[in-house]
Structure 1
Amino acid sequence: MLVTEVPNALPGGSSLLRNEPVQARSSARLSGLLDAAAAVIDEIGFERLTTAMVAERAGASIGTVYRYFPDRIAVVEALAIRNTQRLAEHFVTALSESGATTWQEACDALIDVTAEMYRTEPGFRAIRFGDAADTGTGDSEDRMAALGSTVAQILHERFGVPATERTARTWVVLAEASHAVFARAYRDPAAPDTGLVEEYRTMSRTHLEAVIASS
């Protein structure tokens, strides 16, 4: 399963952070910096984000930002990791609250949770959960793989969806496809193209049914 704290999920332990927050106050400060970054990114995009903007929006000194992040890329990467974690956590919660009894219902819950995050989660539309933020680190592949592995494990354990090499590839395909479809559907969160989301729902279910039937 995905971990629930940003520092624990960073590739290579926590290489993107200068200092791991080990106390509640420090964790809250890190969370506040990421919230500030998300707000700025929603306004201007991650390409123009600077550490100075993060500091100003968070009401913190630039030194506080550099205490945790060596540069703006590290900020964006950490926010992308947090987005991935929150999506996984919301999915697990949605499964419990919906009382899903089939893998189809579980997939619907995942799609609904993803759509809601595109609509309401600050910074999610801009960098979503898989973007590498032009860092060249390849960390986005690790995040996508971790998310796909989590979903596959849950559906295998709860609903008996086969855990085969093909289903693993299928999760990658569906995750990448959703990445593109939801970005287009939620270009304007105030007026999303929900029809695109429903087309993705139909497509993903049809393809999964075929893959599972052949397993």
Structure 2
Amino acid sequence: MIETQQAPSRSDAAGLIRNEPVQARSAARLTALLDAAAAVVDEIGYERLTTAMVAERAGASIGTVYRYFPDRIAVLQSLAARNADRVTARILADVADERHHDAMAAFHGAVAVLVDAFRSEPGFASLRFGDVIDLRPAEGSPAYSVLAETLVEALTARFGIAAHKDLPVAMESAIVALDALAARAFARDAGGSAAFLGQGPKISSQLLGEYLSAR
């Protein structure tokens, strides 16, 4: 069996892939399978996705799907892990942007990236930092916790704010609340309801204001 290459730092979902290929051709095949899964999820939701649908959309055999994924849950978790990795990378790049002059502004920038991912990242609205990615396996840190820890580290390192003992919990609480708010905003509005998204800064300030303004 080929050694798994996906980093497990974001989630444990990557461990469910049967064969993580090293060769470029095989890596491209795996990418195509996940792209196909994302397209199907965007169309019909993750609840109805099957491995046969993934194979058909990718133009691959069902055997190819099972070469990499033991079942449909592994497909979903791997797609969620990829979405989380991609968006986390974008969030960290935004936090480092020099246009942000304080930690709260950088956090708002991170939230803007999260909201944009609902529009631009295939399958993200259904599969992101929670939901299916945390259903199985049970071991390891929940994806929301990993993102919160990553953001706390990035913000404290860049802006020199005090790493208060309650900041990680406050950060995760804010992320969970804002993610739920974004999900509601996009539930019936493909562009995202401005009325719901507009509540984000209020939630951020209430949960994080005392920590992100401290030095």
Given the two structures, how large is their TM-score scaled by the length of structure 2? 0.88
1:200 corresponds to: 200
- 1:184 is paired with a residue whose SS is helix
Q: CA shift at 1:177, angstroms?
A: 0.6
Q: 1:140 to 1:43 in 2, by over 3 A?
A: farther
Q: 1:96 to 1:213 in 2, by over 3 A?
A: closer
The aligned length equals 211
Q: Structure 1 segments of 4 or more deviating over 6 A? A: none
Matches within 5 A, 1:78-97: 78-97=78-97
Q: 2: CA distance between counterparts of 1:184 and 1:43?
A: 18
Q: CA shift at 1:112, angstroms?
A: 0.8
Q: 1:6 to 1:170 in 2, by over 3 A?
A: farther
Opposite residue 27 of structure 1, the aligned amino acid is A
Q: 2: CA distance between counterparts of 1:40 and 1:18?
A: 21
Q: 1: CA distance between counterparts of 2:116 and 2:5?
A: 21
Q: Which runs of 5+ in 1 are unaligned?
A: none
Is the 1:95–1:109 Cα contact (8 Å) retained in structure 2? Answer: yes
CA RMSD after TM alignment? 2.5
1:76 corresponds to: 76
Q: CA shift at 1:26, angstroms?
A: 1.7
Q: CA shift at 1:140, angstroms?
A: 8.8
Given the two structures, how large is their TM-score scaled by the length of structure 1? 0.88
Q: 1: CA distance between counterparts of 2:148 and 2:5?
A: 18
1:64 corresponds to: 64
Q: 1:187 to 1:12 in 2, by over 3 A?
A: closer
Does 2:40 correspond to 1:40?
yes
**1:25-53 deviations in Å (ceiling 9; x for gaps):** 22221111111001101111111110000
Is the 1:132–1:139 Cα contact (8 Å) retained in structure 2? Answer: no
